[in-house]
Amino acid sequence: MSPLLRNRLPQLTTALIFILLFAAASFRYDYFFSVRNGSSLFISNASLGIIAVGMTLVIFAGGIDLSVGAVAGFTNIFVATQIQDHGWHPLAAMAAGLVIGTAFGAAMGAVIHYFKQPAFLVTLAGMFFARAYAFQISESSVTIKHPFFVQLTDIKATLAGSTIHPLPAIIFLLVLVAGYLVAQFTRFGRNLLAVGGSEQSALLMGLPVGGTKIMAYAICGGLAALGGLTNTFITGSGNCTFGTGLELDAIATVVIGGTLLTGGRGHMLGTLLGVMIVGTIQLIIAFDGTLSASWTRIITGTLLLAFILFQRLLLQATQKRLA
């Protein structure tokens, strides 16, 4: 096996699974293979995808962020109430939401780095904080009626004869491309992988370990906020319970996409494939109609397990080769 192929084995496996899954579903269910279905993969999973991009960066650096779902929920309700109840212009409310999310992520990153606290504990506390704050803002759903915002949600496009609302998908794809470029072609992206591979070595090489880690959490927080915001474009309203359990889905998609959970190795395109797989499973369950929705979680969990075991084997093989 050539080194290039071996390094990309996890992503290739994920791609193969996605193609097989989608093909099987297309044969099994009529009308599954359609433009509408394909585009809905991107639109209805836009929030998950955006958040997964941020999660990928954090996991690259060997961290984890459990607060993303709650931050998304907070931004979701925060933006809606600021526009609706406090008379803010939608653009101001959205900007404020993104800034808060980024600052919150940076604060968690600082606590994790400077006080050497475990990432999962700090972000778990962050998750409780953000979710409780969301509940405090408003427990009922808030519909946004501002004309500018309604205009935004009403952007339509025609794709091969079917009308879709492409805005969430466009944001997702932009974030994905940006995330890919940052991870692949910038110094920050390489620093992330170096820190995730071995913090000690990265420090000895003179890399800005603290700055890199805090930056990763800040971006992740900001993207979580953007994910929550994107959902308001789909529903046209804010809800404090949005994003419950989304952090687990995001972690699952990153791992299924072949990124090593211990950090230091992975690929942004794998995350896209992970989102596509989770989305396809949800579509299949919706198409079938006889399967209960709980299967989504079970299948996601099983895939997560399978990929982690697969990674272990791969890692062992690599170590054996090096030894």
Select 180 or 265, whichever has its Cβ closest to other proteins: 265
We find the least distance from the C-beta atom of residue 204 to other proteins, in angstroms, to be 20
Task: Decide: is 124 part of the binding site for other proteins (CB under 8 A).
Answer: yes
Q: Which is nearer to other proteins, 10 or 189 (by Cβ)?
A: 10
- In 3D, which of 311, 310, 300, 308 has the Cα closest to residue 274? 300
Q: How far is CA 207 from the centre of its chain?
A: 26
Query: Looking at 151, 184, 201, 302, which residue binds other proteins (CB under 8 A)?
Result: 302
Shortest distance, position 38 Cβ to other proteins, whole Å: 26
| 217 is a site residue for other proteins (CB under 8 A) | no
Q: What is the CA radius of gyration of the chain?
A: 20
Q: What single DSSP character describes residue 116?
A: -
Interface with other proteins includes 319 (CB under 8 A)?
no
Query: Interface residues for other proteins in 218-257 (CB under 8 A)?
Result: 245, 248-249, 251-252, 255
Q: How far is CA 221 from the centre of its chain?
A: 11
- What is the helix (H) or strand (E) element at residue 136, kind and residue range? helix 119-137
- The CA-based angle 105-63-111, given to 5 degrees, is 45
- Among 90, 109, 126, 196, which residue interacts with other proteins (rule: CB under 8 A)? 126
Considering beta carbons, is residue 149 or 242 the nearer one to other proteins? Answer: 242
- The answer to whether the CB of 47 falls within 8 A of the CB of 230 is yes
User: Can you tell me the distance from the alpha carbon of 223 to that of 255, in angstroms, rounded to the nearest whole number?
Assistant: 18
Q: Which residues lie near other proteins (CB under 8 A)?
A: 64, 111, 114-118, 120-122, 124-129, 131-133, 135-136, 139, 245, 248-249, 251-252, 255, 261-262, 292-302, 304-305, 308-309, 312
